[in-house]
Amino acid sequence: MRQAPAVPVLPPLVRKQYPFESRFLMLRNGHRLHYLDEGSGPPLLMLHGNPTWSFYYRDLVLGLRAHFRCVVPDHLGCGLSNKPADGDYLILAHAGHLRELLTALDLREVTLVTHDWGGPIGFLAATQSRDRFWRLITFNTGVSLEPLPRLLMLLRLPLIGPLVILGMNGMVRAGLLAVAVNGHRLEPAVRAGYLAPYDSWAHRVAILRFVQEIPIEVTHPNRALLQELGRGLGEMAALPHLVIWGLKDPVFHRGYLDALHRRFPRAEVHRLADAGHWVVEEAGESILPLIRDFLARTAGERLTPSHRAGAS
Regarding predicted confidence, which is higher, 108 or 8? 108
Question: Is the per-residue pLDDT at 299 higher than 70?
Answer: yes
Q: What would the mean pLDDT of 11-15 be, rounded to a whole number?
A: 93
Overall average pLDDT of the 51-63 stretch: 98
Residue 225, pLDDT > 90, answer no
pLDDT digits (tens, 9 = 90+) for 77-128: 999 999 999 999 999 999 999 999 999 999 999 999 999 999 999 999 999 9
- Measure the CA–CA gap between 302 and 250, rounded to whole angstroms: 36
| pLDDT of the residue at 220 | 84
Output phi, psi for 14, to 5 deg: -80, -40
Query: What pLDDT is recorded for position 307?
Result: 45
Predicted confidence (pLDDT) per residue in 176-210, tens digit: 877 877 677 889 999 999 999 999 999 999 999 99
Which is higher by pLDDT, 35 or 181? Answer: 35
* pLDDT of amino acid 7: 62
pLDDT of residue 197: 96
Domain ranges of the chain: 12-299
Per-residue pLDDT for 23 more than 90?
yes
- Report, as residue numbers or ranges, the catalytic residues: 116, 249, 277
Q: Give the per-residue pLDDT at 308.
A: 45
Q: Is the pLDDT of residue 309 over 50?
A: no
* pLDDT of residue 175 exceeding 90: no
Query: Residues 227-284: pLDDT tens digits?
Result: 888 888 988 999 999 999 999 998 899 999 999 999 999 999 999 999 999 999 999 9
Q: What is the longest distance spanned by two Cα atoms in the chain? A: 53
Grade residue 1 by pLDDT with cuts at 50, 70 and 90. very low
Q: Is the domain defined by 12-299 classed in CATH 3.20.190.10?
A: no
* % pLDDT > 70, the chain: 94
Q: What is the pLDDT of residues 124-152, one digit of tens each?
A: 999 999 999 999 999 999 988 777 777 77
pLDDT band at 302 (very low <50, low <70, confident <90, very high): low
- What's the mean per-residue pLDDT of the chain? 90
- Nearest 5°: phi and psi at 134? -115, -50
